[in-house]
Amino acid sequence: MSLKKVSKEQPDKFEFSEENLILAKKIVLNYPAGKKKSAVMALLYLAQKQNNNWIPLAAMKYIAKFLDISYINVYEVATFYSMYNLSPVGKYFIQICTTTPCMIRGAYKLVDVCKKNISEKENELSGKKNCSWTEVECLGACISAPMAQINDDYYEDLNVKQFEGIIKDILKDKKPKPGSYRGRINSEPEKNRQTLIENKNA
Amino acid sequence: MLKMLKVKVNDIDIEVEEGLTVLQACEIAGAEIPRFCYHEKLSIAGNCRMCLVEIEKSKKPVASCAMPVTDGMNIKTNTKLVEKARKGVMEFLLANHPLDCPVCDQGGECDLQDQSMFYGIDKSRFKENKRFVPEKYMGPLIKTQMTRCIHCTRCVRFATEVAGVPEIGAIGRGEDMQITTYLEKAMESELSANVIDLCPVGALTSKPYVFEARPWELKKTETVDVMDAVGSNIRVDTYGWEIKRILPKINEDINEEWISDKTRYACDGLKYQRLDVPYIKKENSFKKISWQDALQILKDKINITKPEKIAGLTGDLTNMETLFACKELFHKVLKSKNLESREKNIYINLNDRKNYLFNSEIKGIEKSDFILLIGTNPRYEATMLNARIRKSFLKNNTEIFSLEDLGDLTYNYKVLSNTTEEVKKIIENNCDISRKIKNAKYPLIIFGESALTMNSSKYIFEGFKKFLNENNKISEEWNSLNILNTNASAVGAYDLDIVCKTNETLEKINKNFFEIIFLIGQDNISINKKNEFIVYIGSHGDKGAEIADLVLPGAAFTEQNGYFTNLEGKLQMAFKASYPPGEAKEDWVIINEISKLIDGNGLFKDKNELLTAMNSHINSNKKNEFSNLFKEEYINEKILTLPIDYYHSNVIARSSKTMNECRNIRSKLKKTGTEG
């Protein structure tokens, strides 16, 4: 992971939509009086959802004013967490986990698939502008490694061929089925196994 | 009373107050603890881990800066474990720190360099590439080399806490953490350059001083600053004649550990626009002449002029010796009464020193619980004093009011209406503010010079004094009446009562009444010159020298020993760090020579005689009826704080290239409105 780049093209203005404004005010009320700056993370996420999955500088300024804190405070938080995107991402935003368990199970092969089919570099939009990908640290689905997250869904137990299929569907604007690609439900053992006795290498 | 705790440091028993940290306890016991992120004046971060110590019954080494002392603690700072832990921390700090000490400006005064002499290991086990961080723009004063940064966050804490401009922050995380200003804009603070002193490594260094000198080559002189009336204590570093840099000197009563950017960087103004030989104006251009000829011309001119047609104006950077010599020259030799130190017709009551001092003292601001600003913008008029107000605001949540909306003062304040009517209401005990002043234990009323130059100044000042006296807010213990003078020489001049006894000098100058006008370091006054013969005595070729007919080169505050009284009334001496350029002489010597020329024998034999005479003059009890010249009347008018051109407020700052650059950048910032 490297320091997130802030997009060079920035919208001039950002404001919460009417419903998000109501929601934002509600979020602020969750915190004790005088501590409303604690709402910064929730509001940044709200702004990201509203603005096609990325946070422009104008939104950071807007939130800083909304919570009465300095711009740099919001900027610090936004650059710290990897789930905040500071430059535009595709409609389908693919995050591939490359932390150790996934890496051992072949995560970099998935990365190669992305490089081939979407864009040569991370965080670059695909030819049709509807898709971008990035490497991320552990997404907490090690039992189903290797895996990728596309928008809000996990795609688990992948191999190269299956992942290629998923990417091709996405590029055609079709949403493939999320979950395990080896037929597992959640993190259950495969083939209904309940002990490791018959597995010699376990 | 605070509870005292018994602790052991390296087997020495000591008693410390409750609430101190382990690091402070160790210092009391005389055990030195290495540190990078800890700083007495800033909040505790605890992120450099260099201050690890061993505490009995604690399994791991403890960061002493963030650990409060408890009773019966047994602290050890000299064990093998401690040394090993610190060496480990140092190795991690050095893993990513470049080995560029030979080209680093911090070399020789670098905390990391010094401490690595004790805790560093001789070779690196880190085989990977070092981290690279791009340089950041932080304005015209701060040069950055962010690969050197060890993320102590002192600069971040300083900007948010002391300077009150939360513009520096740490973005990213882990190895990619970077210190930067918001979107790499210049820091909009008058205290910004203090982060250079705070930086324990060479990540933030001084831009104007870049590659100029090494600290061990410089001659260090501890002296005082004259850029404003606060009288910050400074250290002037010289290399030969040239002043290379100015650093703060700790004085808890005045400037703590900080100085303003003007104090620090106006020093390059001492190199440019200097007057080094006497000049005479002939056919609208200046010609060099010798001292002898210059004084002869002056003598001839004085001999044919009546005493009442001679006037003198002293300047904002003039030291007290010169002021006193001028007073004696005018009083004894020239027999003229027209010597004036004020630039404007400021109402001043010279009956008592308390009428023109900052009586609560700068240190006293810290305990005040109510502050009212009348016609003053302390952020620009006295930056260090403003920092104290902010400290009080943070510490006691002090209620601060201003008659006028002054923009960002780095703390929250409430705006009243800027009319004399508002003041009248307060002193007639007729509004909320009067009640607040009465209820406050340590109220602070600050009058700026702008409030004292109006037609009804006497009314509001004396009225306020009466109101405070009636309510017991002026006593031996606490005097809440404060005057914020802006010129370094102002209080000294009032102490020597250098005001025209008839209060007509300024008016008569405007009416072109005088035939000879002496400008002694006075560059802030605009004179509509007609037939006057103007003599300028001073250090820089600025507004004063431009209109002068005869220019006598003097010395700047760093080139002569001289007393200054700061706005609290503290007498401090500015020491000679360098010497005047060319044929220029110390100011009091010039005045003495003029008097010698006119009446044959000089005013003083030597400086000691001058000092003795000055002391006895100050201590002599004299009645002064000066304030009677002002009319005490109520006029309904607006109290407007006159804007100060912060980066250009005196000759030295005006000649400084660095100050010019700061001013340009600040004014551009204002024009584009990028601050919002």
Flag whether pLDDT at A200 surpasses 80: no
> Which band of pLDDT confidence, cut at 50, 70 and 90, is reported for residue A202?
low
Of A84, A187, A159, nearest to B173 by C-alpha is A84
Measure in Å the smallest separation between the Cα of A76 and chain B Cα atoms: 5
Of B152, B156, B90, B147, nearest to B118 by C-alpha is B90
Contact criterion met (CB below 8 Å) for B356 and B494: yes
Give the dihedral sign, CA B231/B236/B240/B242.
negative
* Mean pLDDT score, A171-193: 85
Instruction: Name the residue among A3, A4, A71 with its Cβ closest to that of B182.
Output: A71
Given a cut of 50, the residues of chain B with pLDDT beneath it are 673-676
> Which residues of chain B have a CB within 8 Å of the CB of A57?
183
The pLDDT, as a whole number, for residue A43 is 96
Asked if B169 has any chain A CB less than 8 Å from its own CB, the reply is yes
Alpha-carbon distance of A178 to A141, in angstroms, equals 13
* Cα–Cα distance list, B449 to B95, B347, B446, B483, B639 (Å): 55, 9, 10, 8, 11
Pairs across A and B, CB distance < 8 A = 36
Beta carbons of A57 and B183 less than 8 Å apart:
yes
> Which residues of chain B have a CB within 8 Å of the CB of A79?
171-173
Q: What is the pLDDT of residues B413-436, one digit of tens each?
A: 999 988 888 889 998 888 889 999
Asked if B1 has any chain A CB less than 8 Å from its own CB, the reply is no
Alpha-carbon distance of B483 to B494, in angstroms, equals 13
Instruction: Name the residue among B160, B176, B182 with its Cβ closest to that of A2.
Output: B176
The pLDDT, as a whole number, for residue B621 is 67
Measure in Å the smallest separation between the Cα of A80 and chain B Cα atoms: 4
Partnered with residue B503 across adjacent β-strands are none
* Cα–Cα distance list, B66 to B20, B82, B273, B342 (Å): 10, 16, 51, 51
Mutation target among B165, B182, B397, B412 for the A interface, most CBs of A within 10 A = B182
Measure in Å the smallest separation between the Cα of A97 and chain B Cα atoms: 18
Neighbours of B575 (CB within 10 A): 15
The pLDDT, as a whole number, for residue B671 is 56
* Mean pLDDT score, A10-36: 93
| Better-predicted residue by pLDDT, A195 or B523 | B523
Structure tokens at B300: 């001839």
Q: In B135-206, which ranges are continuous DSSP H helix?
A: 154-157, 194-198
Q: What is the pLDDT of residues B190-241, one digit of tens each?
A: 999 999 999 999 999 999 999 999 999 999 999 999 999 999 999 999 998 8
Q: What percent of chain A has pLDDT over 70?
A: 98
Measure in Å the smallest separation between the Cα of B171 and chain A Cα atoms: 5
The pLDDT, as a whole number, for residue B585 is 93
Q: Please give the distance of CA B281 from its chain centroid, rounded to a whole number.
A: 36
> Which residues of chain A have a CB within 8 Å of the CB of B174?
1
Of B138, B137, B134, B92, nearest to B116 by C-alpha is B92
The pLDDT, as a whole number, for residue B676 is 39
> Which band of pLDDT confidence, cut at 50, 70 and 90, is reported for residue A24?
very high
The pLDDT, as a whole number, for residue B673 is 47
Check: pTM over 0.80? Answer yes or no: yes
Mutation target among A12, A57, A72, A77 for the B interface, most CBs of B within 10 A = A72
Structure tokens at B28: 């009391």
* Cα–Cα distance list, B48 to B52, B63, B67, B200, B571 (Å): 10, 9, 14, 11, 41
Asked if B123 has any chain A CB less than 8 Å from its own CB, the reply is no
Alpha-carbon distance of B558 to B632, in angstroms, equals 41
Asked if B410 has any chain A CB less than 8 Å from its own CB, the reply is no
- List all residues 6 or more positions away from B292 whose beta carbon is below 8 Å from its beta carbon: none
- With CA atoms as reference, the chain B residue closest to A4 would be B172
- Ordered DSSP codes for A101-149: HHHHTTHHHHHHHHHHHT-SSTT---TTSSEEEEEES--S-GGG-S-EE
Measure in Å the smallest separation between the Cα of A117 and chain B Cα atoms: 29
Number of H helices, E strands in chain B: 20, 26
The pLDDT, as a whole number, for residue B533 is 92
Beta carbons of A75 and B170 less than 8 Å apart:
no
Q: What are phi and psi of B10, to 5 degrees?
A: 45, 45
Q: Which residues of A touch B (CB under 8 A)?
A: 1-4, 57, 69-73, 75-76, 79-80
* Mean pLDDT score, A173-194: 84
Asked if B673 has any chain A CB less than 8 Å from its own CB, the reply is no
Alpha carbon distance, N-terminus to C-terminus of chain A: 33
Beta carbons of B173 and A80 less than 8 Å apart:
yes
- With CA atoms as reference, the chain A residue closest to B164 would be A70
Flag whether pLDDT at A190 surpasses 80: no
Measure in Å the smallest separation between the Cα of A70 and chain B Cα atoms: 6
Flag whether pLDDT at A20 surpasses 50: yes
- With CA atoms as reference, the chain A residue closest to B166 would be A70
Alpha-carbon distance of B610 to B633, in angstroms, equals 41
| Better-predicted residue by pLDDT, B277 or A193 | B277
The pLDDT, as a whole number, for residue B71 is 92
Measure in Å the smallest separation between the Cα of B670 and chain A Cα atoms: 18
The pLDDT, as a whole number, for residue B674 is 47
Beta carbons of B176 and A72 less than 8 Å apart:
no
Quote the ipTM score: 0.86
Read off the amino acid at residue B629: L
Asked if B170 has any chain A CB less than 8 Å from its own CB, the reply is yes
Beta carbons of A72 and B173 less than 8 Å apart:
no
Instruction: Name the residue among A1, A75, A76 with its Cβ closest to that of B176.
Output: A1
> Which band of pLDDT confidence, cut at 50, 70 and 90, is reported for residue A113?
very high
- List all residues 6 or more positions away from B615 whose beta carbon is below 8 Å from its beta carbon: none
Measure in Å the smallest separation between the Cα of B255 and chain A Cα atoms: 27
Beta carbons of A70 and B172 less than 8 Å apart:
no
